[in-house]
């Protein structure tokens, strides 16, 4: 049995597509997308987002899924089989996913802490200014009952709570500068959940409850990954469907809140279309599509590598794109309804309600729910949804690194449980930095820069490798060996190997990837020390550059290592840019699948740039680990 034969396989097509939806549709749909729309003209942002998602995002997503399915291997080795010089693309993707996994499970841990507070009946704590962790700046108008009792039960007065006392003059509390007052939900998040220090320079000790929550999140992740793709598929039946049910419930409740129309006006009915003329709006939309669809992270490529070779990944890529867009747009409607409700309740402009993405999920939503009947119910549904979205995406992020190790080092595959535990443990240890008093500052750096310009550069290099070094004509034949030839004029244009897909892959997508890479790199260079509502010391810039460029460093390192080993074996530079013999033979695949109309060239001549039989043997082991057993069949 070869290394590929014992990789495992999905129980069913449904479980695979649900696992992919669970991986792609995540926390970014609930807070990153609404925040981008919030900052870029409201509903006007839907135009560039949906265009980028379906015109460019879908074809690139399909490319990655088909690569994994055809080669039956993860990102660590699939690019080596196409050209050893580009193997670092896969390892760069694995490192990017690992960096994201570090902070992603921290968010899952936060949701566990909120859920624990809800099930233990302490939802009042994020709506009250009378907790031990509250400061004198805590201001709230939710202390009606206690204030009414102190003023003789006169409910006609305008009551507020500030600096530990009740007052009847709302003019004073509204006259305070925003920097002088904080909401109880903000203090609950900052002082209780995070135990945040005033600045990043003050390290602070470990937050024990955050550490415990993070450990639970990683234990759940590891247990699922140890069971393999079959268990991930079964769990996806729950994790990929329940969030849609919950968001529908929250949507109905949100649009019926007083003031919801204010948010809906901003989001849908009265958007600022002038923002469409701003190139930054399109840049942010295109960048978010990569985050949202998980393009360039290697996760969907890894998950697809466990498919049957004739699985219809083109259809699945379209379903994932639609599911992702639906959650963003539909979830955004619920979010903006809540923002409108909060703006009306607090008597402020909708632009002044929220500070950042984390503030939206962990400050504004809890505050809003405490102003609704049955606050514990809505809070439970919301945080349960966040937990499910987060943990299902985490499965895919962690699986990328594990799959990379199995494929790069085939002898390790029998020790899968050990590899999962090691990866989970070291990523958990890295996440402890985010569980300190200054952890939120490191969290923001990870959130903003762990998938920065390097992500776009890797996507661009991936497209160049497949379309121009391996050549589009060859890859189109590979796809047709799996999915068959076009059956009519429509599929010749828009089908799995149609002209539209080729045009996007060869021209539009590479131009977009490299252009956005340049813009994002410029933003990293010119970024100041204040963003996401926090101030950062000058030395944090070094962390920014490490997070932003680590994937590129890995790409260069792996390519250089392969070049060194190739030259040491006496092979020329040309061999680093040639297809390797362990790239699947499309003729064999076609015959096994019974694909019709496949009259492809035989032998080594089937690729215009393939390694010749004479050159092939010396560098079969060009990959920088021992793959001899994998290549014996050749």
| CA torsion through residues 188, 193, 197, 200, sign | negative
Residue 194 confidence (pLDDT) above 70 = yes
Residue 429 confidence (pLDDT) above 80 = yes
- Please state, as a whole number, how many other Cβ atoms lie within 10 Å of the Cβ of residue 414: 11
* Distance between first and last Cα of the chain: 14
Question: Which has more pLDDT, 270 or 384?
Answer: 384
Q: What span, in angstroms and rounded, lies between the C-alpha atoms of 282 and 302?
A: 29
What integer is the mean pLDDT of 302-324? Answer: 94
Question: Which has more pLDDT, 130 or 380?
Answer: 380
- The tokens for 264 are 């809906």
pLDDT, tens digit (0-9, with 9 covering 90-100), for 531-577: 767 889 989 999 999 999 999 999 999 999 999 998 888 888 888 99
pLDDT, tens digit (0-9, with 9 covering 90-100), for 459-476: 999 999 999 999 999 999
H or E stretch at 167: strand 165-167
pLDDT confidence of residue 400: 92
Q: Using pLDDT thresholds of 50, 70 and 90, give the confidence band for residue 598.
A: very low
Residue 172 confidence (pLDDT) above 70 = no
- Going by the annotation, the residues of the binding site for Na(+) are 22, 25, 29, 292, 389, 393
- Going by the annotation, the residues of the binding site are 22, 25, 29, 292, 389, 393
Task: Of 35-44, 326-335, 357-366, 431-440, give the lowest mean pLDDT range.
Answer: 357-366
What integer is the mean pLDDT of 435-450? Answer: 93
For residues 243-253, one letter each, b for 16 or more C-beta atoms within 10 angstroms of the residue's C-beta and e for the rest, the string is: bbebbeebbeb
Q: What span, in angstroms and rounded, lies between the C-alpha atoms of 605 and 594?
A: 22
Question: Which has more pLDDT, 488 or 144?
Answer: 488
Q: What span, in angstroms and rounded, lies between the C-alpha atoms of 74 and 86?
A: 14
Question: Which has more pLDDT, 420 or 352?
Answer: 420
Question: Which has more pLDDT, 591 or 24?
Answer: 24
| CA torsion through residues 346, 350, 354, 360, sign | positive
pLDDT, tens digit (0-9, with 9 covering 90-100), for 495-505: 999 999 999 99
Q: Which residue, among 92, 95, 85, 91, has the nearest Cα to 465 in the 3D structure?
A: 85
pLDDT confidence of residue 123: 87
pLDDT, tens digit (0-9, with 9 covering 90-100), for 203-251: 888 999 999 999 999 999 999 999 877 788 888 889 889 999 999 998 9
Residue 447 confidence (pLDDT) above 50 = yes
- The tokens for 314 are 């083109």
**Alpha carbon of residue 548 to chain centroid:** 16
For the chain, the average pLDDT equals 84
Q: Which residue, among 123, 29, 97, has the nearest Cα to 385 in the 3D structure?
A: 29
- Please state, as a whole number, how many other Cβ atoms lie within 10 Å of the Cβ of residue 436: 22
Pick from 86-95, 137-146, 351-360, 525-534 the range whose average pLDDT is largest: 86-95
Q: Which residue, among 222, 217, 207, 194, has the nearest Cα to 432 in the 3D structure?
A: 207
pTM listed for this prediction? 0.87
pLDDT confidence of residue 608: 36
- Residues sharing a CB contact under 8 Å with residue 480, sequence separation 6 or more, in sequence order: 497, 595, 598
Residue 195 confidence (pLDDT) above 90 = yes
- The tokens for 106 are 């921290």
Residue 620 confidence (pLDDT) above 60 = no
pLDDT confidence of residue 86: 97
Check if the beta carbon of residue 580 is closer than 8 Å to that of residue 84. Answer: yes
What does the DSSP assignment read for 179-198?
A: GG-B-HHHHIIIIIII---S
Task: Of 30-34, 94-98, 414-418, 584-588, give the lowest mean pLDDT range.
Answer: 584-588
| CA torsion through residues 521, 527, 531, 534, sign | positive
Check if the beta carbon of residue 41 is closer than 8 Å to that of residue 273. Answer: yes
Check if the beta carbon of residue 39 is closer than 8 Å to that of residue 352. Answer: no
């Amino acid at each position: 049995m070869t290394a590929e034969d014992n990789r495992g396989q999905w129980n069913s097509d449904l479980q695979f597509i649900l696992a992919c939806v669970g991986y792609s549709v995540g926390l970014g749909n609930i807070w990153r997308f609404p925040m981008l729309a919030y900052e870029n003209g409201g509903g006007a942002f839907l135009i560039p987002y949906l265009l980028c998602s379906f015109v460019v995002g879908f074809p690139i997503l399909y490319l990655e899924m088909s690569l994994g399915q055809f080669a039956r291997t993860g990102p660590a080795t699939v690019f080596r089989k196409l050209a050893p010089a580009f193997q670092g693309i896969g390892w760069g993707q694995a490192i990017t996913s690992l960096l994201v996994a570090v902070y992603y499970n921290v968010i899952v841990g936060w949701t566990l802490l909120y859920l624990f507070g809800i099930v233990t009946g302490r939802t009042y704590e994020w709506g009250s200014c009378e907790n031990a962790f509250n400061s004198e700046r805590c201001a709230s108008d939710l202390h009606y009952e206690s204030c009414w009792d102190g003023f003789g039960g006169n409910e006609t007065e305008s009551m507020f709570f500030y600096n530990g006392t009740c007052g009847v003059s709302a003019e004073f509390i509204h006259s305070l500068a925003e920097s002088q007052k904080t909401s109880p939900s903000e203090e609950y998040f900052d002082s209780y959940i995070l135990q945040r220090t005033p600045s990043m320079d003050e390290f602070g000790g470990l937050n024990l409850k955050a550490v415990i929550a993070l450990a639970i999140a990683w234990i759940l992740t590891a247990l699922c990954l140890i069971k393999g793709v079959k268990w991930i598929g079964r769990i996806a039946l729950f994790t990929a469907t329940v969030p849609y049910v919950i968001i529908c419930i929250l949507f109905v409740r949100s649009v019926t809140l007083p003031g919801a129309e204010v948010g809906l006006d901003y989001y849908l009915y009265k958007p600022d279309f002038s923002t469409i003329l701003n190139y930054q709006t399109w840049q942010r939309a295109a960048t978010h599509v990569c985050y949202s669809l998980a393009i360039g992270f290697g996760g969907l490529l890894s998950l697809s590598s466990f498919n049957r070779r004739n699985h219809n990944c083109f259809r699945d890529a379209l379903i994932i794109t639609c599911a992702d867009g639906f959650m963003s747009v539909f979830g955004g409607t619920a979010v903006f309804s809540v923002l409108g409700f909060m703006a009306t309740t607090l008597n402020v402009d909708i632009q002044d309600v929220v500070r950042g993405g984390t503030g939206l999920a962990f400050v504004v939503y809890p505050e809003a729910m405490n102003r609704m009947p049955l606050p514990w119910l809505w809070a439970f549904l919301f945080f349960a949804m966040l937990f499910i979205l987060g943990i299902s995406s985490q499965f895919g992020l962690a699986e990328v690194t594990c799959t990379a190790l199995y494929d790069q080092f085939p002898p390790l595959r029998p020790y899968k449980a050990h590899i999962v535990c090691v990866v989970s443990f070291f990523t958990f240890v890295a996440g402890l930095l985010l569980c300190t008093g200054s952890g939120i500052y490191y969290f923001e750096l990870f959130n903003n820069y762990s998938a920065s310009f390097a992500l776009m550069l890797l996507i661009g290099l991936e497209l160049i490798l497949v379309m121009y070094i391996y050549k589009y004509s060859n890859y189109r034949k590979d796809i047709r060996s799996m999915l068959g030839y076009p059956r009519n004029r429509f599929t010749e244009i828009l089908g799995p190997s149609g002209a539209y897909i080729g045009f996007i892959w060869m021209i539009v997508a590479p131009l977009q990837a490299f252009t956005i890479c340049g813009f994002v790199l410029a933003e990293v260079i010119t970024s100041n020390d204040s963003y996401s509502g926090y101030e950062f010391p000058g030395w944090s810039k070094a962390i920014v550059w490490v997070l932003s460029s680590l994937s590129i460093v890995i790409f260069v390192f792996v390519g250089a290592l392969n070049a060194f080993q190739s030259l040491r074996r006496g092979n020329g530079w040309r061999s680093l840019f040639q297809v390797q013999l362990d790239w699947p033979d499309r003729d064999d695949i076609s015959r096994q699948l019974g694909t019709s109309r496949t009259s492809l060239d035989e032998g080594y001549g089937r690729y215009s740039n393939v390694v010749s039989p004479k050159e092939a043997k010396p560098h079969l082991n060009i990959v920088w680990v021992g793959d001899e057993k994998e290549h014996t069949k050749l």
